[in-house]
Structure 1
Amino acid sequence: MSDQAGYHVSTWLVTVAAGLGFAAVIHKYPGIFSTIKVLGSLYVLWLTWKLLRSGMSRTNQEPTVANFRDGVVLLVLNPNAYFIIAAMFAQFLKIESGDQVILVLWILTVFTLNNLISFTAWIIVGDRLATLFRSESNAKMMNLGFGSLLAVIAVWMFFS
């Protein structure tokens, strides 16, 4: 669990820096707000496409125990995390809202807590779910379900 702590502490710190920087940029260049929102929607659609085309994982490696540093490195070196963070602020940080710092802190705290709850749930039930989806057809079915949910989210992001 120390890897989870490293990941979520890093998520909070990176997201606060990104959010405060994003708030400053959208005040100067309000047009970038819409551009990042559209790019975020397209990115989620691309993830949907990748998920729908993927099959079952075929790894035979034994898992290793990760530590706090591994969690930090996972977030800091993950370009997907930065794009998702930018898309999140484009979606929820409103130019006309009052105190941008308070709004940034609220958004990033909800984001980090959501990640923590999601990751914890996945850790608890992930192994059990993996046994259900060991066959190629079941893995495809799971990917179709998750991909469909991502597509709905991408459309919502685009039109909201």
Structure 2
Amino acid sequence: MQRITNCLLTTENQCLMLQKPSKGWWVAPGGKMEQTETIQEAAIRELKEETGLTVEKPELQAVTTMVILDQNGDIHDEWMMFTFKAVQSTGELFEHSPEGKLQWQPINAYKTLPMADGDRFIFDHVFYGEGILYSTFYYNTEHQLLKSRRSSACQ
């Protein structure tokens, strides 16, 4: 199972997002964890590699399992994603990210921007929920959300 981290860097009314060129979907900057990294170290490293910014004290907001099912309903792929939120950063934002287009978006832009349906639930929780979101999202191989299970625990 692949482990992924991402981090939503926010201000009072904006969020830094990345548009991936492959599908045109908007995401929180992030990527694959390296061996021996903690999830927080990976989130900090990935955000810096993709944006040029270093976040301070990112806080875990969501732990998500993504399951891709083939047409027979068998598991085709599976990974776990750890989503963080940060409100402070240092450094200079890249003019061009190696991973896609970086842009500060209004907080509620996630409701209408093209993105994975499961990501909308995660963004909504990060901005408006309490505690940590625990979820599993089931997609088909065409990246359509089939079903989800979600719960949150207040810290």
Q: Please give the TM-score of this superposition, normalised by the length of structure 1.
A: 0.26
Q: Is the strand fraction higher in 1 or 2?
A: 2
Q: Is the helix fraction higher in 1 or 2?
A: 1
> Who wins on radius of gyration, i.e. which is larger?
1
More contact order relative to length (CA 8 Å, sep ≥ 6)? 1
